[in-house]
């Protein structure tokens, strides 16, 4: 197994605490990978990085390609090289795909990136809405999110699954359609056919933002697990 590295900027747990601005420009994030996800300063949309191209998916349904000077408080990216792949030739719901992925990785104890390309019967996504200071914790901010269901759509799901000991990373997946016109943070899906690729990572390059917001955040609330489920949806 080759030593694939994942670059992570910031912590999911800092987002939960309402640290929605960070000092790092997108250009820095793109130096470290070609597949990934995250968000933008002010929680202004869901980020997906696919084949080296970054898209911003906003709560009004619009998608654009953000400039390299746009800043982000949280992103996680890797140079995706599939260590295993499988084809999906019958309809599968989200839980079945997760089970399939679990058969493709050597252990639950590693971090891995996953990419699913295919035809989906449905994909349900949420997209965070841009926040203005003073920021509320994410559990409250996601009350503004829009939830959309796309039906009969071809596209790509990409993201990360993190081991239990790395919950502050907050593994999850984002979706974008083939036309790059619809997408968001995935809550649920049902795929008709496609391919699944996983990339097992054994190196994590964690960059913590050097700014006051991150420095002063409470990153160890008693109910971290509950907050993750409430804001990101089920993680398994
Ligand atoms: Zn997300």
Question: Which residue in 145, 153, 151, 154 sits closest to 233, CA to CA?
Answer: 145
Is residue 143's pLDDT more than 80?
yes
Mean pLDDT over 117-137 rounds to 95
- Ligand 1 centre to CA of 166 (Å) is 16
- Ligand 1 centre to CA of 172 (Å) is 6
At 145, is the pLDDT very low, low, confident or very high (cuts 50, 70, 90)? confident
Task: Check if the beta carbon of residue 214 is closer than 8 Å to that of residue 10.
Answer: yes
**Least confident segment among 27-36, 79-88, 140-149:** 140-149
pLDDT in tens, 69-83: 999 999 999 999 999
User: Looking at per-residue confidence, does 98 or 170 come out higher?
Assistant: 98
Is residue 111's pLDDT more than 50?
yes
The H-or-E segment that residue 94 falls in is helix 94-104
- Ligand 1 centre to CA of 49 (Å) is 12
Among 10-14, 84-88, 207-211, top mean pLDDT goes to: 84-88
Tracing tokens 């398994």 back to the chain, one arrives at: 236
Is residue 160's pLDDT more than 70?
yes
Average pLDDT, the chain: 92
34 Cβ neighbours under 8 A, 6+ residues apart: 49, 50, 51, 52, 77, 78, 79, 80
Is residue 167's pLDDT more than 60?
yes
Indicate the SS3 state at residue 58: coil
Residues whose CB is under 5 A from ligand 1 (ion)? 185
Largest distance between two CA atoms of the chain: 50
Is residue 65's pLDDT more than 70?
yes
Phi, psi of 85 (to 5 degrees): -140, 155
Query: DSSP label at 144?
Result: G
- State in Å, rounded, how far the first CA of the chain is from the last one: 25
Mean pLDDT over 181-196 rounds to 96
Task: Check if the beta carbon of residue 100 is closer than 8 Å to that of residue 197.
Answer: no
- Ligand 1 centre to CA of 114 (Å) is 14
Mean pLDDT over 78-95 rounds to 97
pLDDT of residue 1: 63
Cα 154 from Cα 176, distance rounded (Å): 9
User: Looking at per-residue confidence, does 76 or 227 come out higher?
Assistant: 76
pLDDT of residue 168: 59
User: Looking at per-residue confidence, does 3 or 134 come out higher?
Assistant: 134
Mean pLDDT over 29-58 rounds to 97
- Ligand 1 centre to CA of 75 (Å) is 10
Mean pLDDT over 222-233 rounds to 81
Is residue 236's pLDDT more than 80?
no
The H-or-E segment that residue 101 falls in is helix 94-104
- Ligand 1 centre to CA of 50 (Å) is 14
pLDDT of residue 235: 52
Instruction: Quote the tokens at residue 231.
Output: 């804001």
Phi, psi of 35 (to 5 degrees): -140, 135
């Amino acid at each position: 197994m080759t030593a694939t590295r994942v670059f992570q900027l910031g912590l999911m747990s800092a987002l939960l605490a309402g640290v929605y601005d960070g000092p790092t420009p997108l250009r820095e994030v793109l130096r470290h990978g070609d597949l990934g996800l995250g968000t933008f300063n002010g929680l202004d949309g869901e980020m997906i990085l696919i084949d080296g191209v970054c898209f911003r998916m906003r709560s009004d349904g619009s998608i654009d390609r953000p400039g390299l000077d746009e800043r982000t408080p949280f992103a996680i990216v890797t140079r995706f090289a599939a260590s295993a792949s499988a084809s999906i030739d019958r309809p599968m719901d989200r839980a079945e795909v997760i089970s399939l992925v679990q058969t493709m990785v050597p252990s639950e104890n590693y971090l891995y990136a996953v990419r699913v390309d295919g035809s989906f019967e449905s994909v349900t996504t949420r997209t965070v809405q841009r926040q203005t200071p003073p920021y509320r914790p994410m559990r409250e901010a996601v009350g503004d999110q829009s939830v959309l269901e796309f039906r009969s759509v071809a596209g790509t799901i990409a993201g990360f699954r993190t081991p239990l000991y790395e919950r502050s990373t907050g593994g999850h997946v984002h979706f974008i359609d083939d036309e790059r016109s619809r997408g968001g943070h995935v809550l649920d899906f049902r795929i008709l056919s496609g391919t699944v690729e996983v990339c097992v990572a054994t190196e994590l390059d964690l960059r913590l933002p050097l700014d006051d917001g991150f420095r002063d955040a409470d990153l160890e609330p008693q109910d971290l697990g509950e907050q993750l489920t409430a804001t990101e949806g089920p993680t398994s």
